[in-house]
A and B are shown apart, each in its own frame.
Chain A
Amino acid sequence: MKRTIPLLITALGGFVLIASYFIPPAQSWGENVSIWFDILSSIAFVLGGANLLMSHLKSISDRKSGWGYSAVVLVSFLGTLFIGLGKIGVHPSPQFPNMAWTGYYREMGSGFWFIYQYGYTPLTATLFAMLAFYIASAAFRAFRAKNVEAALLLGTAFIVLLGRTFAGVALTSWIDPSKWSGFKYFTGLKIENLTVLIMSVFNTAGNRAIMIGIALGIVAASLKVLIGADRSYLGKD
């Protein structure tokens, strides 16, 4: 029973979603199933939040290595929750000036806005910016012309890297039909045009092949899950 009910729910939910795509009267069922999932995942946040609090409190009480970070997590979590829910620093809405909590919680200058603007935004931008450094170190470590395919890949990478900048445009700016009419047959060799050709033809073809394979893999894997042939995601067989 512990495994049968989840399997039944999975199968029912999945087939309802498929049916709703093809059968117009069932369209709203599919929308309802999607909305139920949203409700479930919102409720499940309580589980996750509780787990978060418990694990970090445990980490602090056990004085595990890095427990200071757990303290920062808890203070940030509870502080943001309190400031957001309490609408700290938010002025009442002009429509209801006498009621304290009618203002817009993200009003400019409010506590929540301040946390977002000066805490969250710089932090996420910083993490994302780390990619630039990691790309450089990955390029130095991994991009070696070990065989013909790798060499072709590197050549393509150079063209696209240059084509996305002014350097590429400047490098082949001498291919100008106004300087010599014969150049009109070679404008395709200008780096910016080669970049567009690589991205829109070769890269698109490769991407399409991978995307088709992934889509087929998703359909087959989903079918196995729906008919109960694959139950490994539920735990023990």
Chain B
Amino acid sequence: MRDFLEQQWWLVVIVLGSLAPLAAQFVSRGFLPTLRTLDRRWIFLLMFWAVLVPIYFVGVTGRTFPEIPGALAKATFNEIEKLHAGDPVLIAFDYDPSSEGELSPMATAFVKQCAEKKLKMYFMALWPVGSQLADATIDDVLKSDFPNLVYGQDYVNLGYKSGNEGVIKVIVTNLRELYTTDSRGTPLQDIPMMHGIQNIQQMKLVIDISAGYPGIKEWVQYAVTPFPETIHLVGGSTGVQAPQLYPYVPRQLPGLLGAIKGAAEYEKLVIDKYGGPHPNPKYLDGLRRMGPQLVAHLLIIFLIVMANILYFADKRRESRS
């Protein structure tokens, strides 16, 4: 840290310089009066530095915080780990670029583990741009690190279908009623790995990466609940959605990754098993993003404490007067 501060002294100067007017206000007007009338833009600036500086630190030093995988991350990892080579898995990309920060590390790690296990990967999306995100992950992971895998034999992108939970209701019994081609327009009968696939009950596991509606909740309600013996689901969701999904753990949802913390824990498991001594940085995104998460959380705690100091000071002043 000391080396970093010495080498990046210019950053320190910029940060402190930008906060100097605020410090001057505290000195000239007093602590409580300044807090009482604090412009929200100072809070925005503090949050800006709280996120940017750790990102820069991680980028320059390459250091990440140690991560201890929790029970849910381990359960998710083990559900995929117990599958065998050639087992079909359905990976649903139910998010858009706004949630990419939280969910794309999970998506990358899921696809990495599935490829290492030599599973047959069937990609689909219930969100319009999910299919493009699936393509991006395929390019990033499969085409670059697993060039021996062949599209149509080892993985296929079925693409997006509109209808939200209506799509799930149909494909649990008859996938071909909705999907006649893949995302590129190739008829399913011309895709070798689609032979014999009638519905998603033939998938050994469904992996859903979701940011809202439709998402894991709809998969639980319309896929797992009617067919609990044949459909097994694990998923990754944004932090905001995760509390809604805990009631389904573990019976309907044996594994759940919540927010970037869940992604980081799962990434740790995947790279420990498959990453080798020098894992590719693209599989460390979740771990890297824990740095700004730490500083941002500490800032929020600090702001809450300051706000309560102000509140109790004002309350005491009122009771005295």
Say whether A and B bind each other: yes
Residues A123-181 near B (CB distance < 8 A)? 124-125, 127-129, 132-133, 135-137, 139-141, 143-146, 154, 157-158, 161-162, 164-167, 169
Question: Smallest distance from the beta carbon of A144 to chain B beta carbons, Å?
Answer: 4
Cα–Cα, bound, A171→B298 (Å): 13
Among B84-92, B108-116, B195-203, B302-310, the one that faces the other chain is B302-310
Residues of B within 8 A of A224 (CB): none
Number of interface residues of B (CB under 8 A): 59
Question: Smallest distance from the beta carbon of B143 to chain A beta carbons, Å?
Answer: 11
Residues of A within 8 A of B67 (CB): 166
Cβ A161 vs Cβ B47 within 8 A? no
Q: Which of A125, A161, A207 contacts B247 (CB 8 A)?
A: A207
Question: Smallest distance from the beta carbon of A97 to chain B beta carbons, Å?
Answer: 15
The verdict on A42 contacting chain B, using a C-beta distance below 8 Å, is: yes
Cα–Cα, bound, A132→B239 (Å): 13
Cβ A200 vs Cβ B98 within 8 A? no
Residues of B within 8 A of A93 (CB): 185
Among B12-20, B38-46, B228-236, B273-281, the one that faces the other chain is B38-46
Cβ B101 vs Cβ A34 within 8 A? no
Cβ B246 vs Cβ A204 within 8 A? yes
Residues of B within 8 A of A158 (CB): 301, 304
Main secondary structure of the interface of B (DSSP, over half): helix
Question: Smallest distance from the beta carbon of B186 to chain A beta carbons, Å?
Answer: 9
Cβ A196 vs Cβ B300 within 8 A? no
Q: Which of A120, A125, A146, A167 contacts B298 (CB 8 A)?
A: A167
Cβ B303 vs Cβ A140 within 8 A? yes
Cβ A169 vs Cβ B101 within 8 A? no
The verdict on A230 contacting chain B, using a C-beta distance below 8 Å, is: no
Among B3-11, B23-31, B75-83, B289-297, the one that faces the other chain is B289-297
Residues of A within 8 A of B132 (CB): 106, 116
Cβ A132 vs Cβ B51 within 8 A? yes
Cβ A34 vs Cβ B163 within 8 A? yes
Cβ B244 vs Cβ A31 within 8 A? no
Query: Given A34-B163, A143-B304 in contact, is the A208-B247 Cβ separation under 8 Å?
Result: yes
Cβ A128 vs Cβ B166 within 8 A? no
The verdict on A104 contacting chain B, using a C-beta distance below 8 Å, is: yes
Cβ B297 vs Cβ A140 within 8 A? no
Cβ A31 vs Cβ B247 within 8 A? no
Cα–Cα, bound, A178→B242 (Å): 33
The verdict on A220 contacting chain B, using a C-beta distance below 8 Å, is: no
Cα–Cα, bound, A126→B300 (Å): 20
Chain B 259-287, CB within 8 Å of chain A: the 1/0 string?
10100000000000000000000000000
Cβ A169 vs Cβ B68 within 8 A? yes
The verdict on A211 contacting chain B, using a C-beta distance below 8 Å, is: yes
Cα–Cα, bound, A161→B154 (Å): 41
Cβ B303 vs Cβ A166 within 8 A? no
Query: Given A104-B185, A125-B98 in contact, is the A136-B303 Cβ separation under 8 Å?
Result: yes
Cα–Cα, bound, A129→B55 (Å): 14
Residues of B within 8 A of A192 (CB): 68, 70
Cβ B98 vs Cβ A161 within 8 A? no
Cβ B300 vs Cβ A124 within 8 A? no
Cα–Cα, bound, A211→B244 (Å): 8
The verdict on B194 contacting chain A, using a C-beta distance below 8 Å, is: no
Cβ B306 vs Cβ A140 within 8 A? yes
Interchain residue pairs A-B with the least CB separation, the first 4:
A128-B98, A34-B166, A166-B65, A121-B97
* Other contacts beyond A140-B306, A207-B243: 15, CB < 8 A: A35-B163, A38-B162, A104-B183, A116-B129, A136-B44, A137-B43, A157-B304, A158-B301, A166-B294, A167-B294, A169-B66, A200-B246, A200-B249, A204-B243, A204-B246
